[in-house]
Amino acid sequence: MTCQFSAAASAASACSANGRRAAFIVYPHSGGTFTVFTAMRQALALLGITLEWVHVSCDPNLIATHGLGVRVLDQGRLILTRESDPMQRCRLLVSTIANSGYDIVFVNATADLVELSVAAYLPSSIRRVVITHNITLSTYAAAKVMAPFANLCVGVSPRIERKLRRLLPHSRVACIPNMMDFSAYDRIKPAQCGKGFQLLSLGRIKDIDKGVFWLPRIMERLADLPVHLTIAGGGSDLEKLKRLCAPLGDRVTFTGTIAQPEVPAFIAKHDALILPSRFEGFGYTLIEAMAAGCVPVASRISGVTSYVVSHERTGLLFPIGNIAKAADAIRRLIMDPALRQRLADAGRQDARARFSISTMTEAYRLLLATLDQWQPLAPRDVNSLKLLSVGGRWRKFVPLRLKNFLREKLIK
The pLDDT tens digits for 61-103 are: 999 999 999 999 889 999 999 998 999 999 999 999 999 999 9
CA distances, 155 to each of 81, 177, 387 (Å): 32, 7, 23
- What per-residue confidence (pLDDT) applies to 9? 31
Residue ranges, the chain, pLDDT below 70: 1-18, 29-31, 190-194, 390-412
Residue 227, classed as helix, strand or coil, is strand
- In this structure, whether the domain defined by 6-179+357-406 belongs to CATH 1.20.210.10 is answered with no
- What per-residue confidence (pLDDT) applies to 24? 95
**Cα angle at 158 between 165 and 322, to 5 degrees?**
120
Question: What is 184-354's CATH topology?
Answer: Rossmann fold (3.40.50)
Q: What are phi and psi of 69, to 5 degrees?
A: 105, -170
Please list, residue by residue across 36-62, b when 16 or more beta carbons sit within 10 angstroms of its beta carbon and e when fewer do.
bbbbbbbbbeebebbbbbbbbbbeeeb
For the chain, the structural domain boundaries read: 6-179+357-406, 184-354
The pLDDT tens digits for 370-403 are: 888 878 877 887 777 777 776 655 455 556 566 5
- What per-residue confidence (pLDDT) applies to 155? 95
- What per-residue confidence (pLDDT) applies to 13? 34
Which residues sit opposite 327 in a β-bridge?
none
- What per-residue confidence (pLDDT) applies to 8? 30
CA distances, 117 to each of 171, 235, 377 (Å): 18, 27, 14
To the nearest whole percent, how much of the chain has pLDDT over 70? 88
Q: What is the 3-state secondary structure (H, E, C) of 279-333?
A: CCCCCHHHHHHHHCCCEEEEECCCCCHHHHCCECCCEEEECCCCHHHHHHHHHHH
6-179+357-406 and 184-354: identical CATH topology: yes
